[in-house]
Amino acid sequence: MGLVGGEENGNGERVGEVHIGSKNKYKRMDSDFVEEDLALNSDGMVMTKKNSNSKKFVFLCAIFASLNSVLLGYDVGVMSGAILFIQEDLKISEVQEEVLVGILSIISLLGSLAAGKTSDAIGRKWTIAFAAIIFQTGAAIMTFAPDFRVLMIGRLFAGIGIGFGVMIAPVYIVEISPAIARGSLTSFPEIFVNLGILLGYVSNYAFSGLPPHLSWRIMIGAGIFPSIFMGFALFVIPESPRWLVMQNRIEEAREVLLKTNESEREVEERLAEIQVAAGMANAEKYEAKAVWREILYPSPPVRRMLITGCGIQCFQQLTGIDATVYYSPTIFKDAGIKGNTQLLAATVAVGFTKTMFILVATFLIDKVGRKPLLYVSTIGMTTCLIGLSLTLTFMGKGKIGIELAILAVCGNVAFFSVGIGPICWVMSSEIFPLRLRAQASALGAVGSRVSSGAVAMSFLSVSRAITVGGTFFVFAVFSAFSVAFVHTCVPETKGKTLEQIEMIFQNEGEWNRQELEMGDIQQLVQKE
């Protein structure tokens, strides 16, 4: 007969423990609880009907909050193939091609910077809606663009919308999720980005047989359809409870927490923690200027948070993932594949691999932990990038070279998706305190977008100067540096509440000790 829960009181007796036997109904004497059906899940823990319903609700909220990420992924994936036909139809130069592809990431920093203040003013939920509207406006303009100038205007709108979307979705999910599932749920935006990339690749392949002036317009225009689901999402997802507390809407926050947590007791504990954090912010009157002042002139704990959050965002892009996704047809052409249809077919394999492995990360992130997956990811990416560089340099144009190039690219995106891809957004959303979270997360997203834009806007020029193989060797060097960064600057945050994570950064050099203590505690709980 096992025991679940339970604490020792002053007399050494266990209080609140539940005995698991043959019966499946228990009546709790605590007035905070009512009789509920209990069952054992796969981990041997008690699971109630409310538990199951709250998990389903949070899962649904995470899905709807991540829909904007489909738009981002689709744009990234579809542009890799559409650019071939845009170049043929509008007769743009190589420099214009680089600007068209890379400007999306650069201009998105405006959206990311504005998203922090916007989400604090109108709420996380309506900022998600605002991001979708701006992006769809840009997509519509691009679809009907008669020339390069109008195409760029649409690209600017899409970039601003993406900036809002990539910043706000992880923040919303991390604030609405219980600690035990926060890692998996916060990786949803990255899952949907990969799904969007795959859909973009499939769209490229499906419409590649149409005339050039028509094919790229249909490819881009098809990305407008996900907006249909965004309207429905606004009637389903609630506002972030942490934002509601910041607005002194305590009862509304409690109602949201009742839907997303397992018991009323847990709701009251979480609400009290949020009120303390929000109270500290309100007591010190953290206005926008004061928040940015603390970020620009940080204390040692905030500095460590910024190094971790912004650093992992930059390394995510400096390893060249956007170059791999945007210019995969160029890579495969350099390896020896001929014909647009064959090139786009090869990119579908890349998109499928990237999407499948992000699902693997979702299942492992809250079981294995953030840091082990980051090690596997960065070391694996470094190996694949070196392999791709050597293949393109010494074995290009032949059948073996083509096969090895496809294998290396698929391996690179697989390792990216299983680690640094989703974990980067999880870490940058959960490590900052409530008073700084929106603006600091926006700053991290800016680092990601600037790095992405720099890579995308320089890839063709750098490849012409030092070859495609040489360019990927440079990415391999950055990937090797990312391994060292993970080792020295990234703590383990698995299973910790947002408030506990904040305490990790208060004392320098305490990460390893705290991780060991957390591991000991988890082992003791499992034994009991």
The first and second tokens of residue 196, run together, are 């969007």
Residues 6+ apart with CB under 8 A from 417: 190, 194, 353, 354, 355, 357, 358, 360, 361
Helix (H, G, I), strand (E, B) or coil at 319: coil
Q: Give the helix/strand (H/E) hosting 15.
A: strand 14-15
Confidence (pLDDT) at 38: 44
Residue 313 CA to residue 218 CA, distance in Å, equals: 32
The first and second tokens of residue 68, run together, are 């904007």
The first and second tokens of residue 192, run together, are 């949907």
Helix (H, G, I), strand (E, B) or coil at 44: coil
Confidence (pLDDT) at 370: 86
- Of these ranges, 57-66, 100-109, 149-158, the one predicted with the greatest mean pLDDT is 149-158
Helix (H, G, I), strand (E, B) or coil at 3: strand
Confidence (pLDDT) at 11: 41
Scan for tokens 């210019």, then name that residue: 327
Residue 334 CA to residue 401 CA, distance in Å, equals: 10
- Compute the chain's Rg from CA coordinates: 24
Percentages (nearest 5) of helix, strand, coil residues in the chain: 75, 5, 20
For the cut 80, the answer to whether the pLDDT of residue 202 exceeds it is yes
Confidence (pLDDT) at 217: 93
Q: Are β-strands 36-40 and 46-48 bridged in parallel, bridged antiparallel, or unpaired?
A: antiparallel
- In percent, how much of the chain has pLDDT > 90? 16
For the cut 70, the answer to whether the pLDDT of residue 169 exceeds it is yes
The first and second tokens of residue 268, run together, are 């009251």
Whether 173 and 136 have beta carbons less than 8 Å apart is answered as: no
For the cut 70, the answer to whether the pLDDT of residue 520 exceeds it is no
Query: Residue 232, exposed/middle/buried by CB under 10 A (0-12, 13-18, 19+)?
Result: exposed
Number of H helices, E strands in the chain: 23, 7
Ranges of each domain in the chain: 49-237, 298-507
Residues 6+ apart with CB under 8 A from 134: 111, 157, 158, 160, 161, 164
Confidence (pLDDT) at 21: 39
Helix (H, G, I), strand (E, B) or coil at 40: strand
Scan for tokens 């000790």, then name that residue: 513
Q: What is the pLDDT of residues 393-432, one digit of tens each?
A: 988 677 888 889 999 999 999 999 898 988 887 787 778 8
DSSP assignment of 55-115, as one string? HHHHHHHHHHHTHHHHHHHHHHHHHHHHHHHHHHHH---HHHHHHHHHHHHHHHHHHHHHH
Confidence (pLDDT) at 508: 57
| Residues shown for the chain | 528
- pLDDT confidence of 509, banded at 50, 70, 90? low
Residue 23 CA to residue 282 CA, distance in Å, equals: 49
> What is the value of pTM for the model shown?
0.68
Q: What is the pLDDT of residues 326-345, one digit of tens each?
A: 888 888 888 888 877 888 88
Confidence (pLDDT) at 290: 73
Q: Quick one: average pLDDT of 89-107?
A: 85
Residue 448 CA to residue 443 CA, distance in Å, equals: 9
Residue 110 CA to residue 450 CA, distance in Å, equals: 11
Residues 6+ apart with CB under 8 A from 377: 415, 416, 418, 419, 420, 421, 423
Whether 98 and 461 have beta carbons less than 8 Å apart is answered as: yes
Scan for tokens 């040489």, then name that residue: 470
Interhelix angle 399-418/340-364, rounded to 10 degrees, is 30
Residue 424 CA to residue 316 CA, distance in Å, equals: 7
Helix (H, G, I), strand (E, B) or coil at 46: strand
Scan for tokens 């899952």, then name that residue: 191
Could you please state the CATH topology (level 3) that the domain comprising 49-237 is classified under: Growth Hormone; Chain: A; (1.20.1250)
Domain 49-237 matches domain 298-507 at the CATH topology level: yes
Q: What is the pLDDT of residues 2-28, one digit of tens each?
A: 444 444 444 444 444 434 333 343 333
Scan for tokens 């004392």, then name that residue: 507
318-352: burial string, b at 16+ Cβ within 10 Å, e else: bbbbbbbbbbbbbbbbbbbbeebeebbbbbbbbbb
Cα-to-chain-centroid distance, residue 424 = 7
Mean pLDDT of the chain: 78
The first and second tokens of residue 257, run together, are 């927490």
For the cut 50, the answer to whether the pLDDT of residue 162 exceeds it is yes
Q: Quick one: average pLDDT of 235-248?
A: 86
CATH of 298-507, one of 3.90.1170.50, 3.40.50.2300, 1.20.1630.10, 1.20.1250.20: 1.20.1250.20
Strand partners, 2: 20
